[in-house]
Amino acid sequence: MTIGRIEIRQLVGKLDEPFGWSQRWNDSRGVSTVKLFDSDGAFGWGEASADPQTFAALQELAPQVIGKQAAHARAIWQELFQVFYQSHGFAGANVSALSAIDIALWDLAGKQTGKPVWELLGGRMRDAIPVYATGLYYTEDDYPDTLFAEASSYLKQGFSGMKMKVGGKSVPEDIERVLGLRKHLGDGPHLMFDANEAYDSATALQFARAVADADISWFEEPCPSYDDAANARVREQSPILISGGESLKTRHEFAPRLANRVFDIVQPDIAVAGGISEMQVIAQMANAHGTKFHPHFWGTGISFAASLHLVSTLPFTPPKLVPEPYVNEPVLEFDRTPHPVRENVCPDFDVVDSRVEVPNGPGLGVEVDESVVERFTVGEAVVVE
Ligand SMILES: [Mg+2]
């Protein structure tokens, strides 16, 4: 049962209405997919971001997976990492591509054995994963009515927490949006905000202090990810927990940030940081450093399911008898912004009491609609045999 065929695609869907954050506005959403077939015709799905660099890296790495066995996902990870390690391309798009291949290998290994990924990983600690809604991006004339209506819809859908954007307006305007939304929600629901690296440390601290009484669960990416000193300064002085790491890759980019306590919370993305294999390593490193682990998610049901399996296996940080989401139990991001591919390619996941059940079917346990894959494919699938 060796890998005999690989299909690589770029899927892109146009948005009806653009939305924005501190760095850009979006009018489409996309993903790169990998479908690995074994010699018996079984297949596994993986995904990474849709950018052209990742798509190119997938085509470069895929031939090296032909002839290998899905059950050897961790060994294949190390072999592929070695391929680009000394080419000065050690992270970047290569690791995104490797993430997609790794997720597909675990999915295939589960389908070959009839076991869910969480079981192949050594068993799970929880049947359902705490989630929060990501949305509340900038749209035209959204404040206050549109923003408040969106926030209310997340409470109705069963979410106990949600995350909004800051950094796309002036500092006073964004402070008003945060305070206004907290007032609209009332006490209780978790509220987080995300600057997407928009501030220097002084501005981030000014912002954090201005909203210190609004019961904010975390302040995400206050400063540029390359500026550890700025993020560490904010973490030390902010009245709100500081999070980051959604664009960081592999244990090697997390190790110094964990050792130096740059963030209170790390947020790697399974389709970016190195797939299921590497996320388990990063999560255990975060646990050992006493740093919370609340993974990022921005893809389709493929990487969301992979995240559910991974998070189900994780210990509490720190250990205590009673698990509490946000406190010692990981909370997974559940992107609810418009995404035509995500909304159609897999059945959506039910949210009950702000948790999503971990799939129990073989592999990732999600059904991918092939007609939807075809419909959103840009050009033709690249086939490697
Ligand atoms: Mg973010």
Instruction: For residue 89, name the pLDDT band (cuts at 50, 70, 90).
Output: low
Asked if residue 148 has pLDDT above 70, the reply is: yes
Mean pLDDT across the chain: 97
CA of 3 to the centre of ligand 1 (A): 35
* pLDDT at residue 87 is higher than 70: no
Centre of ligand 1 to C-alpha 48, Å, is 16
Is 295 exposed, middle or buried, given 0-12, 13-18 or 19+ CB atoms closer than 10 A? buried
Q: What pLDDT band is residue 85 in, cutting at 50, 70 and 90?
A: confident
Mean pLDDT for the stretch of residues 104-124 = 98
For residue 238, is pLDDT > 80? yes
How high is the pLDDT of residue 56?
A: 95
Torsion angle defined by CA atoms of residues 286, 276, 11 and 131, in that order, rounded to the nearest 10 degrees = -50
The confidence band for 83, taking pLDDT boundaries of 50, 70 and 90, is confident
The predicted-structure confidence for 129-141, as pLDDT tens digits, reads as follows 999 999 999 999 9
Per residue in 302-360, pLDDT tens? 999 999 999 999 999 999 999 999 999 999 999 999 999 999 999 999 999 999 999 99
Active-site choice (190, 294, 296, 309): 296
319 CA → ligand 1 middle, Å:
27
* pLDDT, tens digit, 9 for 90 and up, residues 195-208: 999 999 999 999 99
Q: How far is the CA of 257 from the centre of ligand 1 (A)?
A: 17
List the domains of the chain with CATH numbers: 3-114+367-384 (3.30.390.10), 119-357 (3.20.20.120)
What are the helix (H) ranges across the chain?
A: 52-61, 73-85, 93-113, 117-120, 145-156, 171-185, 201-210, 228-237, 250-259, 275-288, 301-312, 340-345, 370-376
pLDDT value, residue 311: 98
339 is catalytic: no
DSSP 174-234: HHHHHHHHHHHH-SSSEEEEE-TT---HHHHHHHHHHTGGG-EEEEE--S-TT-HHHHHHH
Confidence check: pLDDT of 90 > 70? no
Q: How far is the CA of 8 from the centre of ligand 1 (A)?
A: 27
Ion ligand 1, residues whose Cβ is below 5 A away: 194, 220, 246
